[in-house]
Structure 1
């Protein structure tokens, strides 16, 4: 009797950070298929629910055309108070985010969702608190010049040069990078994914 073929794992994200984070836990996606979805916040939606909803929508969209497979979706947002900060697509947005985060604590939320080969959808949201030191104009200018902020939620990448401005982190470091590894591994293991 032959063994059942293993179902492939598809990462519904083009993020090189998420692919690298999965590699840290020994997981290599069989395919990478970014999901093109509307990422607009719903009125009154809190960051915690926002990232989990987007992670589910990404995984479900890719799963529609690729069943049966394990499809992993994720989304990360930075929130200062109740405000979800944008991804920094330009220098002005990055400066605004860094100015807002200067000397304050904020929260980073990531949602992770897994569609299983039998169509179940499992999801989690994770919160990490991060405190940033007071950033003077020179510190902001130096960080803007390095370019790491480009496309990053909240205007920074914790795994790069910005790490020298982090006073404290409470919770998952990998969550702030873009994928909470403990929760992701538990979802995959619990769903029966085999490497």
Structure 2
């Protein structure tokens, strides 16, 4: 999906990705969008059991990450960025949420749960916009609060092959960073564990780019120009 009209609208605007994930940074960079990275400090201590579905849990994490950065930067700079993008990815099997493993043994536990089974990789995205002050408004008044303009998620259904203990141990000991939900990355060596995947591949990798582009176009009221 071409983002040319949107990029034009965002020229000179401050766009922030509220994530330290190099995967999200790289995927968002595919668009040609100019942005800066300011990782969120939201502690991610929400109780998954307090949410009706894994989707709701991921969406709330994404929302809070984006708002934390928007409000922090507004306090620091006296003006929130024009656009802040927050995201959260979880793996769910039988409605149980698997987040980042605590250590190698926790990663082994998760891989055993996923072996030979289908699970969901859910990535939620929040787009926060900073309201534009009305012309002639009081410049002494506090700046308006940033607002969540779009909150959505994409789900990818992933099926693992039957994994042997030796294969799982080799994977865990391979040096792959243990910083991913479910203990594996679909776009890295973890792809060797996957028999098939249905849905948004980039969403499973951490950022649903196609949906994001469509949402951003809708928010900014841009129409597709000929390329």
For normalisation by structure 2, the TM-score amounts to: 0.78
Residue range with higher mean Cα deviation, 124-133 or 44-53 = 44-53
| 1:111 aligned onto 2:124 | yes
The separation in 2 between residues aligned to 1:4 and 1:55, in whole angstroms, is 22
**Match in the other structure for 1:51:** 58
CA contact (8 A) 1:94 1:149 kept: no
Is contact 1:51-1:109 (8 Å) kept? Answer: yes
Matched, 1:171 2:199: yes
Q: 2:31 corresponds to which residue? A: 25
Structure 1 spans left out of the alignment, 5+ residues = none
- Aligned to 2:167, the other structure's residue is in SS state helix
Cα distance in 2 for partners of 1:83, 1:49 equals 13
Task: In structure 2, list runs of 5 or more residues that go unmatched.
Answer: 1-8, 74-79, 132-145, 223-227
Q: 1:41 to 1:193 in 2, by over 3 A?
A: farther
Tell me: CA distance 1:93–1:117, structure 2 relative to 1, closer, same or farther (3 Å): same
Residues matched between the structures, number: 191
Q: Distance in 2 between matches of 1:4 and 1:128?
A: 30
Contact kept? 2:156, 2:198, Cα under 8 Å: yes
Contact preservation (8 Å) 2:48, 2:54: no
State the distance in 1 between where 2:92 and 2:156 align.
10
Question: Residue 158 of structure 1: SS of its match in structure 2?
Answer: coil
- Distance in 2 (alpha carbons) for counterparts of 1:16 and 1:77: 17
1:18 CA drift (Å): 0.4
- Normalised to the residue count of structure 1, the TM-score between the two structures is 0.91
Alignment partner of 2:154: what SS? strand
Could you tell me how far 1:175 is from its partner in structure 2? 0.9
- Could you list the structure 1 runs, at least 4 aligned residues long, displaced by more than 4 angstroms after superposition: none
Report the aligned-residue RMSD. Answer: 2.0
Q: Distance in 1 between matches of 2:25 and 2:67?
A: 19
